[in-house]
Amino acid sequence: MATQQVSPVRVEREDDIAFVVIDNPPVNATSQPVREGLLREISALADDAGVSTIVLIGAGKTFIAGADIREFDRPLRDPQVPAIIAAIEKCEKPVVAAIHGAALGGGFEIALACDDRIATPDAVVGLPEVTLGVIPGAGGTQRLPRLTGVATAIELITSGRRVKAPEAQRLGIIDGVVSGDIREAARRHARHLAKRKRRLSALFVPVSSDEALKKAIENANKGARARTAVKEAIEAIQNSERLPFGEACVVERASFQRLRESEESAALRYLFFAEREAARIPDIADAVARPIAAVGVLGAGTMGSGIAVSFLDAGLPVTLIEQDQEALDRGLERIHGIYDRGVQGGRMTSQEAEQRLHQLRPTLDLKQLVQSDLVIEAVFEDMAIKQSVFRELDAVLKGGAILASNTSYLNIDALASVTSRPADVLGLHFFSPANIMRLLEVVRGAATAGDVLTTALAVAKTIRKLPVIARVGEGFIGNRIYSAYRIQCELMLEEGAYPDEVDSAMTAFGLAMGPFAVGDLSGLDISWRTRQRLAPTRDPKARFPQVLDRLCEAGRFGQKTGAGWYRYPDGARRGTVDPEVNAMIDKVSAEKGITRRSFTAEEIQWRALATMINEAALLLAEGIAARPSDVDVVLVNGYGFPPQKGGPLFWASRRPREQVFQALDVLAAATGYGFQRGGVEGVIENLQKRE
Ligand code: 3HC
Ligand code: NAI
């Protein structure tokens, strides 16, 4: 028997009020059946004499999260959202949007077409389309400025910011914040509603001052994730003052459709789903997270302080341990500094900062960790020190407490092996600055229990991090690829390039910073120590770059010593080219008998990217990362890879195959003896199959 498809849109009548319920789990995206249902029901209710008011409301946890992004890879099927919006505006009866959860993108555009918008206090509204490489495509760039003026609309649309209901009310983009059950509130609202239409399309755009407009445009262009979308969004919003409403909507829609088909948008959509998939571990789906009510952090250095702040920000109490009072005081100063800057920058009130700091328990006494459910170690990167710390912690912690290391490279299994609880040990690799960077590599040891991993994922959510699961291996996912890339960039120096040429080629590609500027920022001594540690495992016949050792031997550790790959006179934060370094590089080339040659930016980029792609294929084959998309999520969120390019593997999957393989051949030839080629073909095919 054929089953009849149940529509995700239904009407529930209460006297003369009609509730149009959108029920399309998990987030009520406007998939084609939803669009069809909305158009059908609104058109029918418009002609229904028994209905005075229509309420749009979402079933489940949200109003409407926006377009179904999965449909963006193919031509959109009719009816499209503008047709629903036209039906709402055409209807002579008032239509109310009753918002709980989220009204985003097309969901908020539908709400903007309604005559009234009410929302629960915790609801969010916004137009996040640019974060997906498109612009609002159903009148959002035209209706929003009619409520806020062009300058505010530019700020909201180009940042894609999600605005909480109380602020949305202050901005005038919703009409009321209601408490209690949203349906009940909507019913009350509908009963007392003036029976009138209030079409935003008929309003004038309030005038923004030239100064506000200039500032909004300047801010929008600063650090934009998707530059093309931001540029087109600004144009579209300004059209609200330049063109008649209908004409501006046509231009907006054309831009939306064009951008939807761009590689930039495909990359950002890919990352949207990749980020959610990264936290999925099929073999532990049933494990239940352990409760985490108190956290301990060991080591109050750069990382320990930031990690402590991440937990304090989430409202959890943190016991912070150091080895001596001086180091503890320095850590506390760092933490207070973070909160002082937060207050000064208007990101929190001084009261909020105080509340969070109140949850911090600094101490030198390890025994104070006895009540902690999770302890994160962030002491020096040295196996012997970490093992000794793990032994001590194991003796102090209560049964069932989870023991994590923030190590950048070291073997988690070797740490677990010195404890009596290897199943409760894992890596939680934060990125610097730990309170700001979203990425968190969750490193699964050979013995790590399923519920410990599930707990780590739950903790990540609590502290608003983006977890990616990695297996044990030198540098896990990110640092392993980054090390290979950095070494290859150093080899290019010995062949003829200079640091500023490599850095500018990589920033021209879109990386936030070049490898040498990054090295100077994080300190060259860290790489130096890692190289010394790994030296015994290296094949002496393999090519290995020398310049970094020379710099470190000369006491040039980067910004902190005023000199590294670049020179930083008088505490400057931007380095200047140092002829001494270039001479040092020339000397190493000569010693190695290399005839220097010049590199084009494109050659540098391909060689660097081929290295990342190859290393990714190698670690995928070893099972260090579970999926190609996990690698991309790590590189984009932890290493400044441009999100609009989707990550190195997504980027490679969109290039002609011959070009990728040719770059791998060049890389293999240049690296020479010992080069290991990864199964890049398979990885690319795997990615293309997903699309
Ligand atoms: N399309 C398709 N699937 C979506 C989706 C969307 N717009 N939004 C969320 N999902 C899926 C997620 O992939 C996830 O699926 P999974 O369970 O299989 O992994 C599931 O819904 C739940 O999502 P989250 O894990 O993100 O759930 P949260 O409760 O944490 O967050 C949310 C809910 C705030 C709605 C968040 O999902 C979100 O921000 N979604 C994206 C909203 C957005 O960007 N909308 C704009 C779309 S563009 C547009 O509307 C164009 C228009 O102008 C024409
Ligand atoms: P850091 O040198 O700034 O801080 C380490 C702190 O640990 C010091 O304050 C030291 O006094 C303290 N410490 C040492 N032994 C201790 C002990 N037995 N008990 C209590 N405290 C002790 O180092 P940083 O940069 O914070 O690194 C810490 C860890 O985080 C390392 O494993 C590092 O590899 C890792 N990491 C570092 C990143 C970075 O960018 N700095 C990024 C990600 C991870």
Q: What are the backbone angles phi and psi of residue 604, rounded to the nearest 5°?
A: -60, -45
Alpha helices in 165-262 (DSSP H): 165-170, 182-191, 210-221, 227-242, 245-260
Q: For a ligand 1 pocket test, name from 24, 27, 144, 256 the mutation site with the most ligand atoms within 8 angstroms of its C-beta.
A: 27
**Per-residue pLDDT, 586:** 98
**Degrees to nearest 5, angle at CA 151 with 148 and 157:** 80
**Tens digit of pLDDT for each residue in 105-125?**
999 999 999 999 999 999 999
Q: For a ligand 2 pocket test, name from 321, 323, 430 the mutation site with the most ligand atoms within 8 angstroms of its C-beta.
A: 323
Is the predicted pLDDT of residue 494 greater than 80, yes or no? yes
**Per-residue pLDDT, 224:** 63
* Secondary structure element (H or E) that encloses residue 360, with its range: strand 360-363
**In the structure encoding, which two tokens stand for residue 174, read together?**
């919703």
**Per-residue pLDDT, 481:** 98
Burial of 218 (C-beta count, 10 Å sphere; 0-12/13-18/19+): exposed
Q: Which ligand has the shortest distance to the CA of 441?
A: 2
Pairing mode of beta strands 116-119, 102-104: unpaired
Measured CA to CA, the distance from residue 585 to residue 264 in angstroms comes to: 37
Q: Which ligand has the shortest distance to the CA of 273?
A: 1
Whose Cα sits closest to atom 10 in ligand 1?
27
Q: Is 128 helix (H, G, I), strand (E, B) or coil?
A: coil
**Tens digit of pLDDT for each residue in 13-63?**
999 999 999 999 999 999 999 999 999 999 999 999 999 999 999 999 999
* Secondary structure element (H or E) that encloses residue 11, with its range: strand 9-14
- Å from CA of 385 to ligand 2 middle: 11
Is the predicted pLDDT of residue 326 greater than 80, yes or no? yes
**Which of 146-160, 185-199, 504-518, 649-663 is the least confident region?**
185-199
Is the predicted pLDDT of residue 2 greater than 60, yes or no? no
Cβ atoms of 341 and 305 within 8 Å: the answer is no
User: Is 277 among the residues known to form the active site?
Assistant: no
Is the predicted pLDDT of residue 676 greater than 80, yes or no? yes
- When pLDDT is averaged across residues 580-607 and rounded to a whole number, the result is 98
What is the residue whose two structure tokens read 């081929």?
Answer: 610
**Degrees to nearest 5, angle at CA 552 with 547 and 553:** 95
Per the rule left: phi > 0, alpha: psi between -120 and 50, beta: everything else, 558 is: left
- Å from CA of 328 to ligand 2 middle: 12
Laid out side by side, the sheet with 163-164 consists of 102-104, 124-126, 163-164
Cβ atoms of 8 and 57 within 8 Å: the answer is no
Maximum C-alpha span of the chain: 91
Measured CA to CA, the distance from residue 197 to residue 514 in angstroms comes to: 55
**Tens digit of pLDDT for each residue in 470-489?**
999 999 999 999 999 999 99
Q: Which position among 36, 41, 129, 275 bears the catalytic label?
A: 129
Whose Cα sits closest to atom 8 in ligand 2?
301
Question: On the CB side of 69, how many CA atoms lie within 13 Å of its CA?
Answer: 24
* Predicted TM-score of the model (pTM): 0.94
Is the predicted pLDDT of residue 12 greater than 90, yes or no? yes
**In the structure encoding, which two tokens stand for residue 333, read together?**
């100063």
Output b/e per residue, 476-514; b: 16+ Cβ within 10 A: bbbbbbbbbbbbbbbbbbbbbbbbbbbbebbbebebeeb
Smallest CA-to-CA distance from 438 within 405, 464, 408, 404 is with 464
- Domains of the chain and any CATH numbers: 9-261 (3.90.226.10), 292-475 (3.40.50.720), 479-690 (1.10.1040.50)
pLDDT band at 3 (very low <50, low <70, confident <90, very high): low
**In the structure encoding, which two tokens stand for residue 379, read together?**
């002491």
Pairing mode of beta strands 9-14, 425-430: unpaired
Cβ atoms of 48 and 88 within 8 Å: the answer is no
**Per-residue pLDDT, 1:** 46
Measured CA to CA, the distance from residue 373 to residue 393 in angstroms comes to: 12
Ligand 1 atom closest to Cα of 81?
54
**In the structure encoding, which two tokens stand for residue 678, read together?**
């990864």
Residue 219 in contact with ligand 2 by CB distance below 6 A:
no
**Tens digit of pLDDT for each residue in 203-259?**
999 999 999 999 999 999 886 666 899 999 999 999 999 999 999 999 999 999 999
Ligand 1 atom closest to Cα of 272?
13
User: Is 129 among the residues known to form the active site?
Assistant: yes
Measured CA to CA, the distance from residue 369 to residue 161 in angstroms comes to: 39
**Tens digit of pLDDT for each residue in 367-423?**
999 999 999 999 999 999 999 999 999 999 999 999 999 999 999 999 999 999 999
Q: For a ligand 1 pocket test, name from 28, 32, 69, 162 the mutation site with the most ligand atoms within 8 angstroms of its C-beta.
A: 69
